């Protein structure tokens, strides 16, 4: 996505694992919201932690309401259930600066089987 930036993190919050430094490509939340048209239902969105020693604080799936409002489908610990929440409200409530985005791809073998059917 245009506007993505590189970020380095040092992660050491997992007991039993040694510290590790890595780079990740992140999307500023304002840019993420502005590019809603390129998102697809089912895209995986990771919310980058502000804590120096933690990579992500939460993750969920992109979803859309009937009126094409961008939603986050996620397991809410506080509400103890899976729910759809407006993405803009979630980003604001948790003061999210950066997200990462992944899109699952169907394996080539599954595509070949699907075409044969």
- pLDDT of 38-91, one tens digit each? 999 999 999 999 988 888 999 999 999 999 999 999 999 888 999 999 999 999
Q: Which residues contact 5 (CB under 8 A, 6 or more apart)?
A: 25, 26, 27, 28, 98
Domain hosting residue 96, numbered range: 5-116
Q: For 19, left (φ over 0), alpha (ψ -120 to 50), or beta?
A: beta
Q: Which residues contact 105 (CB under 8 A, 6 or more apart)?
A: none
Give yes or no for a contact between 91 and 33, defined as CB atoms under 8 angstroms apart.
yes
Kindly report whether the global pTM for this prediction surpasses the value 0.75.
yes
CATH number, domain containing residue 32: 2.30.260.10
Q: Domains in the chain: how many in total?
A: 1
Q: How confident is the model at residue 109 (pLDDT cuts 50, 70, 90)?
A: low
Q: What is the pLDDT of residue 30?
A: 95
């Amino acid at each position: 996505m245009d506007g993505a930036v590189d970020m380095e993190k040092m992660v050491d919050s997992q007991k039993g694992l040694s510290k590790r430094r890595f780079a990740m490509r992140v999307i500023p939340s304002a840019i993420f919201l502005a590019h809603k048209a390129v998102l697809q239902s089912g895209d995986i969105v990771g919310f980058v932690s502000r804590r120096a020693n933690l990579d992500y604080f939460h993750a969920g799936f992109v979803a859309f309401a009937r009126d094409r409002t961008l939603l986050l489908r996620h397991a809410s610990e506080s509400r103890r259930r899976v729910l759809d929440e407006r993405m803009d409200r979630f980003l604001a409530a948790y003061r999210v600066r950066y997200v990462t985005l992944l899109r699952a791809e169907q394996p080539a073998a599954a595509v070949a089987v699907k075409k044969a059917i």
